[in-house]
A and B are shown apart, each in its own frame.
Chain A
């Protein structure tokens, strides 16, 4: 990505109860499926959506409690609607560990 270009990015966090990797949707809600995540292509918009994630982290009431820990922005590559992660670390985080197939998804060792 050139310095004056931005995105695409998504807001990601960990689920409080399971630690699982989750992504912010347009609703806004959280999903474990990257294909359901809201993809952002504008820097100002990404700040707003990150703030939305952070607000959700601290939404507490008698009936509603936080299931979100430490939201942050994750960079993607989208080529002909195929989504991939810019950083290897983020791909591994999404697909699960490479030593066992009991992770979150099937994983081919890169």
Chain B
């Protein structure tokens, strides 16, 4: 028996020409900057439109991975770029992109050419534009999926790339889309969140607006409970069009759509969107639906072949390490016999989300061999192989083990999400990475990880919250106090659609030397409070509230309360 699934989108000649032309333009802009015909003030918006930042130590190039999907050729090319023009590694981000931390300015056009060769680019990974569309890393494979969201994500990508009306928005704009009941794309925390719904046999979208993290964390407001799928694109355009006119351009901290929604009121905003939607709906003339159908055809399909399980069961029975890995890193696939494998980039003591060029090449080969040449990047900064037959799991595990990529910790305390923090980012106020590394090693050494169970730690190095600390079961926010690093702790954040919550502040912050013992203490409080081994940290927190945690913490770290 064979089962067909939609696979990678094949780019058209138009896409290739567009990317090549953008690269050619940027090469000229770089040359003009180096020769002094452009000032830094003139050059900055141009480089930002092409994903190039000037960071703490060097330039940083952020490369788009549209909706987090890659093939092995693309990942291999990223490895080549890491070796050729960087320091042999790349950093996968919480927005499913990859960042190179050390390129030289003169090399950027070469890198962009190299990316264009495999259908990749860095367009709109920065600046006040519509950024990379993010989606469910299990899309097309998830058991609970209503419909594959990737063709819709691709339609959004095509529509938003170089969209003339939306190149100079009040601020950046982020869209996430999911087709599953379990929201692995955190849609409620995006400027627009789209969830595919089924109502009376009809497909459509729930549309939420104004979600986001940063200095003002907000859960998105649903402004359309069910939008027929054929209205999807004109409605999204209406939302952005309304905000583009109303959004505050006088104050960058008040420019995001969540602030517009708060100042105007969601009902009024919704009414304006509906009015705009009525105006523009017919101008699409069905062209968007036609393009969507074309896109669906360009998502090549693949036959997943039914196979025997081979020696899977024996290996599973005999090998404890393999058993742990399957338990934590392997998820059921919608096709019987197949699985979704999450390759952890959180080896204890390593930098979260970093992969060396060697590791990239190896995972690319594994994807080719075992996952129908397809990979995904998750917002948890891991790599997903979406279509792996169960019979191949042990061989895959063995090869990952050799590459140092078989950490069986997905969803556990060492699967820490962390932004680059002060180590690399110009905006950051404290380091995230050393903290993540130290916590990973600490809980490995304590041998508590499996006992603790599901516990998500997320660390941001500043209030901009790229490490999504508001959504961590334990969230850590790095700040600067009198020239030194200081860390605040929030508890109880979660990002699933039905129970989205923004973490609650535990109380006064902690010094760099205190923060790891504080987290260890929080975990010990949880272990003492939980009803049984099955009760997760989040469940315990919801049952008992924040007080038992804060009371014990500040008994042990009393000076912090006084100095707050």
A residues adjacent to B (C-beta < 8 A)? 14, 16-21, 57-58, 60-61, 65-66, 69-70, 86-89, 92-93, 96-100, 102-104, 109-110
| Residue pair A98, B54 in contact (C-beta under 8 Å) | no
**Is there an interface contact between B423 and A97, defined as CB atoms closer than 8 Å?**
yes
Is A17 touching B57 in the complex (CB atoms < 8 A)? no
Interface string of B470-487 (1 = CB under 8 A from A): 000000000010011100
Complex CA gap A109/B429 in Å reads 16
Q: Report the bound CA distance from A21 to B426 in whole Å.
A: 12
A18 cross-chain contacts in B, Cβ below 8 A: 58-59, 104-105
Q: Could you tell me if A104 and B39 are in contact, using CB atoms closer than 8 angstroms? A: no
Contact of B56 among A57, A58, A60, A93 (CB under 8 A): A93
- Chosen A-B contacts, 7 in total, with CB atoms closer than 8 Å, are A17-B104, A20-B58, A87-B483, A88-B422, A88-B480, A89-B480, A104-B57
Interface string of B424-439 (1 = CB under 8 A from A): 1000010101100100
Measured in the bound complex, the distance between the Cα atoms of B485 and A43 in whole Å is 28
Task: Tell whether A102 pairs with B87 under 8 Å between CB atoms, given A86-B483, A88-B480, A89-B480.
Answer: yes
CA distance A70 to B34 in the complex (A): 15
B351 on the A face (CB < 8 A): yes
CA distance A89 to B433 in the complex (A): 15
Residues in B whose Cβ lies below 8 Å from that of A97: 57, 423-424, 433
Q: Write the nearest CB–CB distance from B50 to chain A, whole angstroms.
A: 15
Residue of B whose beta carbon sits closest to that of A14:
B54
What distance in Å separates the Cβ of A69 from its nearest Cβ neighbour in chain B?
5
Contact among B36, B59, B429, B433 with A98 in the assembled complex (CB-CB below 8 Å): B433
Knowing A88-B484, A99-B423, say if A21 contacts B57 (CB, 8 Å): yes
Q: Is the interface of A mostly helix, strand, loop or mixed?
A: loop
Q: Are B40 and A70 in contact (CB under 8 A)?
A: yes
Interface residues on B, range: 20 to 34
A98 adjacent to B423 (CB under 8 Å): yes
Task: For the complex, give the distance between the alpha carbons of A16 and B485 in Å.
Answer: 29
Bound together, the chains give a CA A100 to CA B512 distance in angstroms of 19
Chain A residues positioned under 8 Å from B33 (CB to CB): 16
| Distance (whole angstroms) from the CB of A30 to the closest CB of chain B | 15
| A70 CA to B40 CA, complexed, in Å | 8
Q: Which of the residues A17, A57, A93 comes within 8 Å of B34, measured between beta carbons?
A: A17
Which of B36, B58, B485 makes the CB contact (< 8 A) with A19?
B58
Distance in angstroms between the alpha carbons of A21 and B105 in the assembled complex: 14
State how many angstroms separate the Cβ of B58 from the closest Cβ of chain A.
Answer: 4
Q: Which residue of A lies closest to B57 (CB)?
A: A96
Chain B contact residues, CB within 8 Å of chain A: 33-37, 39-40, 54-59, 87, 104-106, 351, 422-424, 429, 431, 433-434, 437, 480, 483-485, 512
Residues of A within 8 A of B58 (CB): 18-20
Across-interface contacts of A66 in B (CB, < 8 A): 36
State the Cβ distance, A9 to closest chain B Cβ, in Å.
15
Distance in Å from the Cβ of A23 to the closest Cβ of chain B? 14
- Are A98 and B57 in contact, CB atoms less than 8 angstroms apart? no
- Tell me, rounded to whole Å, the shortest Cβ–Cβ distance linking B32 to chain A: 11
Residues of B within 8 A of A60 (CB): 36-37
Which residues of A sit under 8 angstroms from B431, Cβ to Cβ?
Answer: 92, 98
In the complex, the answer to whether A57 meets B434 with C-beta atoms within 8 Å is no
Contact B36 A92 (CB under 8 A): no
- Measured CA separation A109–B35 after assembly (Å): 39
- State A93–B54 Cα separation when bound (angstroms): 13
Neighbouring B residues of A96 by C-beta, 8 Å: 57
Q: Which residue of A lies closest to B512 (CB)?
A: A110
A58 touches B55 (CB 8 A): no
- In the complex, chain A residues whose CB is within 8 Å of the CB of B57: 19-21, 93, 96-97, 103-104
Question: A19-B55, A86-B483 given. 8 additional CB < 8 A pairs?
Answer: A16-B34, A17-B106, A18-B58, A18-B104, A19-B59, A20-B57, A92-B431, A97-B57
A65: chain B residues within 8 A (beta carbon): 34-36
Contact residues in A for B87 (Cβ distance below 8 Å): 100, 102
Cα–Cα, bound, A98→B422 (Å)? 9
Please give, as numbers and ranges, the residues of chain B lying within 8 Å of A103 by CB-CB distance.
Answer: 57
* Given A18-B104, A98-B423, A109 contacting B434 (CB threshold 8 A): yes
Contact of B105 among A16, A70, A87, A93 (CB under 8 A): A16
> For A57, what are the chain B residues with a Cβ–Cβ distance below 8 Å?
40
Shortest A96–chain B CB gap in Å is 6
Chain A residues, CB < 8 A from B40: 16, 57, 69-70
Docked pose: A14 CA to B56 CA in angstroms: 9
Residue of A nearest to B484 (CB): A88
- Shortest distance in angstroms between A61's beta carbon and chain B's nearest beta carbon? 8
List the A side residues contacting B423 at CB < 8 Å: 92, 97-99
Interchain nearest-CB distance for B266 vs A (Å): 39
